[in-house]
Amino acid sequence: MRVLVTGIAGFIGSHLAERLLARGDHIVGLDNFDPFYARRLKEGNLAGIRPHAELHEGDLLDASLCDRILREGEFDVIVHLAALAGVRPSIAQPARYQRVNVEGTAILADLAVRHGVRRMVFASSSSVYGDTTSVPFRESDRADAPVSPYGASKRSGELLLRSMHLVHGLAVTSLRFFTVYGPRQRPEMAVHAFCRAIDRGEPVTVFGTGTSRDYTYVDDVVAGTVAAVDRENETFSIYNLGNSHAVALPRLVSTIAEALGKEARVVQGEQQPGDVQQTFASVDAARADLGYDPKVPIEEGVARFVAWYRERKPEP
């Protein structure tokens, strides 16, 4: 199978590319190495991929580059993971998030149609649900009140792709990822940031009280994404990819501290704009249609993350 993976140098993209390469797929990757975090970390993500895949450095908004890649690629499917990530940064840069996450998706989908690519897998987010009080979150929920520009951009991407399906017949599988963690996780995300702080004896700042998240180990998310890649469909579909277990913030901190064998010094901060109280996925639809079956509980996943963290070279 010939697969274009956008955002290939990122956390999830690099894991997915490795999984697809291991089974013999032909992988072409696109990444612009956005300076949201250090380029050297993304280069490290590509260490096992670069010799075996065709990689392009460039931006989704560069329509001529994307056109050339798609014209020459003869792809069976596009896995579109590239995006500006992060709830809080999106509040400071709402226009940029819309340009990259919505316009970039529109450029890619339009070119997919023009060059005869039949299927697309889109990385969406649990952020589309907003601060809903109904749990677990189900794909049938309206998802019309995201509380951050990032969440709004992901929901806009879903709606855009639904229209491309209706007008042009592009088959789209939208995967709503729930707080993915594991080796290579972005440095600012909770598991990584808390682990770093506890390991260094620095205080852990937690924002808000009573919050919980559906932390999902990267191997489970990759398995669900591969199943979506393999699913021959002609529809527009949405699936939650979560662990279907909400973990309260104090439990997450204590689990990381225990895995490190160190004490956590917790500092309480005010809840931040754009944050939600909880996320909790129903995965019934993904289980039924994709065979999705998350297997890694938080204790095991955190232990694996800590092992990876300790094996890495020290951060500056």
User: How does pLDDT run across 75-88, given as a tens digit for each residue?
Assistant: 999 999 999 999 99
User: No. of H helices and E strands in the chain?
Assistant: 12, 13
User: What pLDDT is attached to residue 176?
Assistant: 98
Q: Give catalytic residues, as residue numbers.
A: 150
Joined tokens for residue 269: 């901060």
pLDDT beyond 50 at 316: no
pLDDT beyond 90 at 171: yes
Average of per-residue pLDDT across 285-312: 97
Residue 281 and residue 241 in contact, taking contact as beta carbons nearer than 8 Å: yes
User: What pLDDT is attached to residue 208?
Assistant: 72
How buried is residue 250: exposed, middle or buried, by Cβ count under 10 Å (0-12/13-18/19+)?
Answer: middle
Judged by phi (left if over 0) then psi (alpha if -120 to 50, else beta), residue 116 lies in left
Residue 70 confidence class, pLDDT cut points 50, 70, 90: very high
Query: If DSSP states are collapsed to H, E and C, what string results for 32-97?
Result: CCCCCCCHHHHHHHCCCCCCCCEEEECCCCCHHHHHHHHHHHCCCEEEECCCCCCHHHHHHCHHHH
Q: Are strands 204-207 and 266-269 parallel, antiparallel or unpaired?
A: parallel
Domains present along the chain, CATH in parentheses: 2-181+217-242+280-294 (3.40.50.720)
Residue 285 confidence class, pLDDT cut points 50, 70, 90: very high
Q: Which residues contact 232 (CB under 8 A, 6 or more apart)?
A: 119
Contacts 24+ apart (CB under 8 A), 91-94: 91/148, 91/149, 91/273, 91/274, 93/149, 94/149
Residue 136 preceded by cis peptide, ω within 30? yes
What is the pTM for the complete model shown? 0.96
Cβ density class 45-70: b for 16+ within 10 Å, e for less: bbeebeeebebbeebbebbebbeebb
Residue 315 confidence class, pLDDT cut points 50, 70, 90: low
pLDDT beyond 60 at 313: no
